[in-house]
Structure 1
């Protein structure tokens, strides 16, 4: 089973870079420029940090250039962000 320390290995960092190069649209706000991998099921809750099926692009180190949010930071280890509008909310006028 993978451990949280696996998040710092060269293999993980290389896979993360390839993942973000393939898709940089934040799954939380829907804007481009995502710079971190968010784990849909948090590592703190036992998810394998290296399971790419559990990865989602998100804004974290740098705030979203469109809405200014630190999407992954606002989400934390919870499964949903309260009050964080998604791109669907913006288009629907929410």
Structure 2
């Protein structure tokens, strides 16, 4: 099982920075400026912290500059509920 310290290694931080540089749109609210990687399947539940297929960008350390939410903090250690509408969904409706 992965440990929380696995999330602080230099290699992990470099990989996370590259990931967020490629896409900073929060998967929870749909706004730009995501600053953390959300592990869809939680690391605490045994997910590999470096498996990028389990990563989605989210707001966390900094709140969303558009709606002010701490998206990842509000979600907590749960998987994203299905059918949740994000701001992006409302614009396309």
- For the aligned pair, the TM-score class normalised by the smaller chain equals 0.7 to 0.9
TM-score between both structures, scaled by the size of structure 1: 0.86
Per the alignment, residue 9 of structure 1 pairs with 9
Contact 2:36–2:60 (CA<8 Å) still a contact in 1?
yes
Q: CA RMSD in A?
A: 1.8
TM-score between both structures, scaled by the size of structure 2: 0.87
Per the alignment, residue 55 of structure 1 pairs with 55
User: Please, which runs of 5 or more residues in structure 1 have no aligned partner?
Assistant: none
User: Please, which runs of 5 or more residues in structure 2 have no aligned partner?
Assistant: none
Per the alignment, residue 68 of structure 1 pairs with 68
Runs of 4+ in 1 over 4 A off after TM superposition: none
Residue 79 of structure 1: how far off its partner (Å): 1.5
Aligned residues: 91
